[in-house]
Amino acid sequence: MATKTAQEVRAGLNHPVIDGDGHIVEILPVFLDYLRQAGGQQLADRYGRLQRANSPYDDAEGWFALSPDARRQQRLMRPPSWLVNSASARERATTMLPNLIRERLDEFGIDFSILYTSVGIPISSSNNDDLRLGGCRALNLMYADMFDAHRDRMTPSAVIPIHTPDEAIAEIEFAVKELGFKTVTIPGCVTRPVADAGGSRHAVWIDPLAVDSLYDYDPVWAKCMELGVAPATHHSGMGTGWGARATTTNFMYNHIGHFAAGADAVCKALFMGGVTRRFPDLRIGFLEGGAGWAVSLLNDITEHWEKRNIESLRKVNDPQLLDRADLSSYFRRYGADLLGATGDPDAFDSIFASHPGVETAEDVDDWGAVGLTRKADIGKRFLPNFFVGCEADDRMNGAAFNPRLNPFGAKLNAFLGSDIGHWDVPDPTQILADAWALVTDGLLSEEDFAAFTFGNVARLHTEMNPKFFEGTAVESAVAARRADAAQ
């Protein structure tokens, strides 16, 4: 329970507060006007029907129209509902109106906010090409107009489709070069149909863009580097293709952990696929999943590499090392009652299907793309590149800043994401106070709190674009921090 107000917390700080992940709740009639411009009347009408069914997801109309038995038979995921504050007209309006958000930022204790899409999360992942491409273009046109007068206190993130590298590059270039966006939001994975499954909507696979992808996405990362924009993702781990998070009845069951699952899949692929090796200066944000998944992933990667690096494979696991005659003698002495009279020595190790001479250590080396030669390389490929957006009241934030828990004595790049605009923030005046409670409870030091609410998100964007905060209310503080870091 917070014991200070946001304004009291902010008054006691010697640094500004940057909200690294706020949200705008789109006004349907306004968005439909932009959607007509970008995709035509038919597309606007179709999307309007989906919204009136209470969800932007393609299956929503079917779910609400069908009986519970039919939903179960067709395995239609329970769509999200009741996603925004309805108890207070002022809070509801705040999520939708940039003028009101700006007026209240000081009340929230926030100096600058980076605002992301709400409806664009499912739109940018839609398998309907018209909705995905037209919807992203419409959102970007709308956000550019809505936030133009507020650049000193807020900036929106462009919504980028990524079913193919070409569509992603085209929209990134339009958003940055034509509309002036400084950051972009991408789906972290693409749900693709299995080609030989006869058109079944359940026969899908998850393409994480960097491991076994349908396309080479390196041109997308190169474009982000060229234009100086740090991509961020709120990737949903709900729905078709994500297994257990797709119940037909319980939204909370589907929701808990789903952004973390999406972030884990994307981050792991970027690392294992060697993206951070090929693009060491690329900075990427993973939003709304908290810090727990990132702490677990870094530890898991490190511990797996220790046992499965190529030298260990050669010294411990190579089937050529096995003395099969010696193994046979153990089975005859200790397992004759289990195996009977068999004298086939190959039968004794067949449980692990170890076939000498079939594969080399290089064939089974899963770390080849990452280019690891020693354990410290893991930290170099992971820690500088990945930034983790966390809600204020998530106590796992403390784990990100715990060098005793993390490999290499590391503190992860966790930063405050208010998630203002969504149902998990009923009172935005409590956001900063909830974050400060982690200091009061001993989970963060004041130095960690400064990194969490200011330093890390500033680095995420300025390490890609040193001019990101020019002309904003936090310009001088960010410049001073960068100067101190350079000394």
pLDDT of amino acid 360: 87
Q: Are strands 154-156 and 112-116 parallel, antiparallel or unpaired?
A: parallel
Q: How far apart are CA 181 and CA 186, in angstroms?
A: 14
Domain assignments of the chain as residue spans, ordered by start: 6-23+98-127+141-306+373-486, 319-352
Place of tokens 């096995």: 322
pTM of the model: 0.93
pLDDT of amino acid 29: 93
Element holding 206 (H helix, E strand): strand 204-207
At 294, phi and psi to the nearest 5? -70, -40
At 18, phi and psi to the nearest 5? -110, 120
Neighbours of 411 (CB within 10 A): 18
Torsional class of 75: left (φ above 0), alpha (ψ -120 to 50), beta (otherwise):
left
Q: How far apart are CA 452 and CA 444, in angstroms?
A: 9
Q: How far apart are CA 266 and CA 213, in angstroms?
A: 12
Q: Judge whether 383 and 408 are in contact, CB under 8 Å.
A: yes
Q: Judge whether 422 and 83 are in contact, CB under 8 Å.
A: yes
Sign of CA dihedral 404, 17, 466, 480: negative
H helix count then E strand count, the chain: 24, 11
344 is written with which tokens? 């086939």
pLDDT of amino acid 245: 87
Q: Which amino acid is at 245?
A: R
E strands, 212-344, are: 231-233, 284-286
pLDDT of amino acid 462: 98
E strands, 78-142, are: 112-116
User: CB neighbours of 199 closer than 8 A, spacing ≥ 6?
Assistant: 193
Q: How far apart are CA 202 and CA 74, in angstroms?
A: 9
pLDDT of amino acid 322: 82
pLDDT of amino acid 323: 83
**DSSP per-residue codes, 139-204:** HHHHHHHHTGGGTTTEEEPEE---SSHHHHHHHHHIIIIIT--S-EE--S-EEEE-TTSTT-TT-E
Q: Judge whether 454 and 110 are in contact, CB under 8 Å.
A: no
pLDDT, averaged per 10 consecutive residues of the chain (487 residues), comes to: 83 97 94 96 88 60 84 86 85 94 97 96 92 97 98 98 98 98 96 77 88 97 98 88 86 92 96 98 96 96 95 89 82 75 58 65 92 94 97 93 95 95 90 96 96 98 98 97 89
Classify burial at 152, counting beta carbons within 10 Å of its beta carbon; exposed 0-12, middle 13-18, buried 19 or more: middle
Q: Which amino acid is at 54?
A: N
**How is residue 453 annotated by DSSP?**
I
Q: How far apart are CA 444 and CA 327, in angstroms?
A: 53
Place of tokens 């729905």: 239
Q: How far apart are CA 239 and CA 243, in angstroms?
A: 8
pLDDT of amino acid 239: 77
13 is written with which tokens? 């700080």
pLDDT of amino acid 61: 63
pLDDT of amino acid 250: 93
**Could you tell me which CATH number the domain at 6-23+98-127+141-306+373-486 has?**
3.20.20.140
Q: How far apart are CA 481 and CA 478, in angstroms?
A: 5
Give, in degrees to the nearest 5, the angle at Cα 244 between 248 and 388.
Answer: 115
SS3 259: helix
378 is written with which tokens? 């893991």
Q: How far apart are CA 90 and CA 82, in angstroms?
A: 17
pLDDT of amino acid 53: 60
Sign of CA dihedral 304, 306, 309, 314: negative
Q: Judge whether 114 and 157 are in contact, CB under 8 Å.
A: yes
pLDDT of amino acid 83: 82
**How is residue 352 annotated by DSSP?**
G
